[in-house]
Every structure is written in C-alpha cells, then in structure tokens.
C-alpha cells in the first residue's frame, strides 16, 4: 500500500465538491465521501457520552470520520460545517497534531469502527 501525505489527500477542488454534494448535517456522509475520493480507509466514530471532553461534548451526540492507513484522520465536517478544526487531515504520528487530535477526537480507545473498507 502506498504511503500518503496530507497534501496528497486534499485539494481546494476536492473540498469545493464536498461542500456542494454533501448533506452538511451528517458527518458520516463526509467520512464515506472522503473514502470514495481516496479509495481506502475505515470510518470510525464515537459517542460523546463515552468520549467526554471533546469539542463535540454538549454540542452533538457523536462524530464519525475517516481513518486512512491507521494513521491519517480525514475529517472535512469538523472544518467545513462545525468550524472546530483549522484543517481536514490530522497525522496520528505527528506531535504537532497531537493536541488537536485529543481536543477534537478525544480518546482513541473510545473510537468504534463504523465501516471497514
């Protein structure tokens, strides 16, 4: 499997199409759409009652996102709809992304597989 980099995943054109084609209230739709565009990845999610302290706590019931190669979180919804993220790709192996990953997605042990590729 080839290695991907954040700049390879997302282009302004790609984001523009996501904004036009998807139901903005459903983060799950964004995760599935991202998987279709990338061609791989697993959709994960969490319930806020089981993963307290995230940006979703008290605002939404839960959140779904795409995890690619067990390393890259691709989450257009958090940026484009919720406005709680400044970017759409997070590297789980990057110290620079660690605080944002914790703030937005919480405890990785609390994530559940929604759909496998």
Residue-wise pLDDT for 56-78, tens only, equals: 888 888 999 999 999 999 999 99
Q: What is the structure's pLDDT at 96?
A: 96
Q: What is the structure's pLDDT at 104?
A: 96
Q: What is the structure's pLDDT at 24?
A: 62
Write out residues in the chain with pLDDT < 70, as ranges: 1-25, 117
CB 12 within 8 A of CB 87: no
| Best CA proximity match to 33, nearest among 51, 45, 15 | 15
Q: Which two tokens stand for residue 33?
A: 């759409």
Contacts of the segment 15-22: beta carbons below 8 A, 24+ positions apart: 15/76, 15/80, 15/88, 18/76, 18/80, 19/80
Q: What is the structure's pLDDT at 117?
A: 67
């Amino acid at each position: 499997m080839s290695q991907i980099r954040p700049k390879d995943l997302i282009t302004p054109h790609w984001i523009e199409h996501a904004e036009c084609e998807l139901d903005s209230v459903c983060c799950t739709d964004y995760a599935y759409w991202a998987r279709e565009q990338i061609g791989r990845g697993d959709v994960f999610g969490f319930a806020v009652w089981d993963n307290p302290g995230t940006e979703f706590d008290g605002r939404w019931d839960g959140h779904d996102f795409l995890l690619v190669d067990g390393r890259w979180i691709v989450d257009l919804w958090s940026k484009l709809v919720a406005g709680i993220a400044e970017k759409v790709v997070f590297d789980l192996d990057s110290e620079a992304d660690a605080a944002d990953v914790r703030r937005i997605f919480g405890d990785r042990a609390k994530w559940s597989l929604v759909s496998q590729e």
